[in-house]
Copies of this chain bind each other. A is one copy, B any other.
Amino acid sequence: MRSYGQYCSIARALDVVGDRWTLLIVRELLIQGPCRFTDLKNGLPGIAANLLSTRLRELEQAELIERHEAPPPIATTLYRLTEAGHALEPALKAVGLWGMRYMSTVDRQDTFLPQWLAYAPAWFTVDADPEAPPVVVQLDVGDAHAVMEISGGRVETHVGRADSPDLVLNGPANAVLGLLMGVIDLDVATQIGLTATGSRDVLSRLRPIAESAAHAS
């Protein structure tokens, strides 16, 4: 990207990460950890291979990521965030929090990956009642499955299924995540296809982070 040539920290930041796809590459590395080239390509539907290659080179030069030749049994190069790259997390969260206003609808064309089902609650919701006993929520959106563990003030998530969840939320992405993120309420979510199986009152355990509370992890 051409530099804006301004002595302003916002413009300087955009000089480094303002290019198309760049912040989404950082997003994938933040939520997935160190990735192979192919992992990144799969996590960024639509990106051209040459462009990913170019971006990775630029990010490495900017010292936001570093290549790491993993020994067997991996035996391939992994890309991982440096400290400076990891420091983008608060900025990405703030941007994502603002973008939440566009999450109430979903287009048929939109791609949706399991890891996004997992990271969204982890980044943008908190346990509203830290003293209460732990609960587990299973999220199912098509073929994407994730588990939320709400406990001690924190919400932790991972891709996959739970053994005996207290609640199972199933439906289209905007119904499940829209409800969790607080952009739609339970009535609307149900209307657009949400089915909630189990104890619905665990939903009150979850509080979406308000914009005014955007902050570092």
Chain A residues within 8 Å of B, Cβ to Cβ: 1, 4-16, 18, 20, 23-24, 27, 45-46, 84, 87-88, 90-103, 106-107, 109-112, 116, 120, 124, 173-174, 177, 181, 211-216
Q: A24-B4, A213-B215, A216-B212 are in contact. Are A9 and B173 (CB under 8 A)?
A: no
Q: A18-B20, A212-B216 are in contact. Are A6 and B98 (CB under 8 A)?
A: no
Of B5, B88, B120, B211, the residue contacting A107 (CB under 8 A) is B5
- Of chain B, the residue at the smallest CB distance from A11 is B24
Contact present for B20 and A1 (CB under 8 Å) = yes
Contact present for A7 and B94 (CB under 8 Å) = no
Contact present for B84 and A88 (CB under 8 Å) = no
Contact present for A7 and B45 (CB under 8 Å) = no
- Of chain B, the residue at the smallest CB distance from A117 is B7
**Chain A interface secondary structure, helix, strand, loop or mixed?**
helix
Contact present for B6 and A110 (CB under 8 Å) = yes
Of B4, B14, B102, the residue contacting A95 (CB under 8 A) is B14
Of B10, B102, B107, the residue contacting A24 (CB under 8 A) is B10
Q: A10-B27, A24-B11, A102-B13 are in contact. Are A93 and B96 (CB under 8 A)?
A: no
- Of chain B, the residue at the smallest CB distance from A178 is B7
Cβ–Cβ < 8 Å partners of A20 in chain B? 1, 18
Of B13, B90, B101, the residue contacting A99 (CB under 8 A) is B13
Q: A23-B14, A212-B90 are in contact. Are A97 and B9 (CB under 8 A)?
A: yes
Min CB distance A12 to B, Å, is 4
Of B13, B98, B216, the residue contacting A88 (CB under 8 A) is B98
| A88, A94, A120, most chain B CB atoms within 10 A | A94
Complex CA distance for A100 and B98, rounded to whole angstroms: 21
Contact present for A90 and B214 (CB under 8 Å) = yes
Of B112, B212, B215, the residue contacting A7 (CB under 8 A) is B112
Contact present for A12 and B97 (CB under 8 Å) = no
Contact present for A5 and B94 (CB under 8 Å) = no
Min CB distance A83 to B, Å, is 10
| A1, A13, A173, A177, most chain B CB atoms within 10 A | A13
